[in-house]
C-alpha cells in the first residue's frame, strides 16, 4: 500500500512561531502565516473568483514523525490523513495536509467525511476550537515532490505553517503550504 504523501520528499523543519525573526519573512507573507481565523474564509474574502478544494487523497496511514512529536503522542502509529489543494479560479494557492490521530478521530468524525468541503468550514464551527501551537517552515524545491513542484511553478522556496488545534480535548494538525501565486495574486488580482 502506497503511503499517503503527495507533496513532500522530506518533512519540513518546523520551528515554533516565536523563534522566527519577524524581519526574516516578506511582509506579504507574515499576515497569512499568522492568520488566526479560517484560512479558507480569508482566501474567499480576499480574492475574487471561484474557490474550490481539490482532494488529492485521504486514508488511515502512518503520520510524519514530527507530527507525532508535536501532538505529544510519539506512540500514535496511525492517523486519518487528508491532502488537498485550495484553488481560486482553478489556480493553486495553498496545498494542505491534515493529520488526525485515531484517538482524536472518534470525537471528530465529521473530519473524515469532508470530500471537497473545506476543513476550515467545519473546524471553525466548533465553539471549543483552540490553536495550541503554531509553527513555521521555509521549504526548498528539493524537499517537494514532483506534484508539489508543478503547483509552485518556478519558486525557489515556499512558506508553510503547521497549526496544532484542540477541539474538546481532541488534537489535530493542519499543515498549509503557501504557493507564491497567493502572494502575487494578493497584489495583482482583482480584490473583492
Cα distances (angstroms) measured from residue 138 to each of 19, 33, 55: 13, 11, 24
- Dmax (CA) for the chain in angstroms is 47
Q: Residue 191: in which H helix or E strand, if any?
A: none
Q: Provide the phi-psi class of 153: left if phi over 0, else alpha when psi is between -120 and 50, else beta.
A: left
Distance in angstroms (rounded) separating the CA atoms of residues 171 and 84: 19
- Residues 58, 83 contacting (CB under 8 angstroms): yes
Provide the sign of the torsion angle of the four alpha carbons 171, 73, 14, 150, taken in this order.
Answer: negative
pLDDT of the residue at 190:
32
Share of the chain above pLDDT 70, in %: 92
pLDDT at 2 over 70: no
Provide the sign of the torsion angle of the four alpha carbons 69, 145, 26, 31, taken in this order.
Answer: negative
| Least-confidence region, from 4-13, 75-84, 108-117, 133-142 | 75-84
For residue range 66-104, list pLDDT tens digits in order. 888 887 766 668 899 999 999 999 999 999 999 999 889
Q: Residue 100: in which H helix or E strand, if any?
A: strand 91-101
Write down the domain spans for the chain.
Answer: 15-188
pLDDT of the residue at 70:
81
Distance in angstroms (rounded) separating the CA atoms of residues 94 and 90: 12
Mean pLDDT of 37-59: 94
**Architecture in CATH for domain 15-188:** 3-Layer(aba) Sandwich (3.40)
Q: Full-prediction pTM beyond 0.85? A: yes
- Residues 81, 61 contacting (CB under 8 angstroms): yes
Burial 23-42 (b: 16+ CB within 10 A, else e): eebeeebeebbebeebbbee
Supply 69's cell numbers.
Answer: 512529536
For residue range 49-73, list pLDDT tens digits in order. 999 999 999 999 989 988 888 877 6
Q: Residue 104: in which H helix or E strand, if any?
A: helix 102-105
| Average pLDDT across the chain, whole number | 88
Instruction: Name the one residue in this structure whose C-alpha cell is 496511525.
Output: 78
For residue range 127-164, list pLDDT tens digits in order. 889 999 999 999 999 999 999 999 999 989 999 999 99
pLDDT of the residue at 28:
81
Amino acid at each position: 500500500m502506497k503511503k499517503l504523501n503527495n507533496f513532500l520528499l522530506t518533512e519540513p523543519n518546523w520551528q515554533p512561531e516565536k523563534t522566527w525573526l519577524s524581519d526574516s519573512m516578506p511582509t506579504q507573507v507574515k499576515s497569512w502565516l499568522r492568520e488566526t481565523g479560517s484560512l479558507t474564509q480569508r482566501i474567499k474574502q480576499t480574492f475574487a473568483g471561484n474557490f474550490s478544494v481539490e482532494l488529492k487523497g485521504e486514508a488511515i496511514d502512518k503520520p510524519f514523525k514530527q507530527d507525532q512529536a508535536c501532538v505529544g503522542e510519539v506512540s500514535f502509529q496511525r492517523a486519518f490523513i487528508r491532502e488537498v489543494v485550495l484553488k481560486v479560479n482553478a489556480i493553486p494557492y495553498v496545498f494542505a495536509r491534515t493529520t488526525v490521530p485515531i484517538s482524536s478521530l472518534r470525537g471528530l468524525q465529521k473530519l473524515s467525511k469532508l470530500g471537497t468541503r473545506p476543513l476550515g468550514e467545519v473546524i471553525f464551527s466548533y465553539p471549543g476550537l483552540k490553536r495550541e501551537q503554531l509553527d513555521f517552515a521555509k521549504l526548498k524545491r528539493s524537499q517537494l515532490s514532483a506534484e508539489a513542484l508543478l503547483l509552485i511553478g518556478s519558486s525557489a522556496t515556499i512558506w508553510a505553517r503547521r497549526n496544532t488545534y484542540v477541539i474538546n480535548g481532541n488534537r489535530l494538525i493542519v499543515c498549509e503550504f503557501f504557493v507564491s501565486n497567493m502572494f502575487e495574486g494578493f497584489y495583482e488580482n482583482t480584490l473583492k
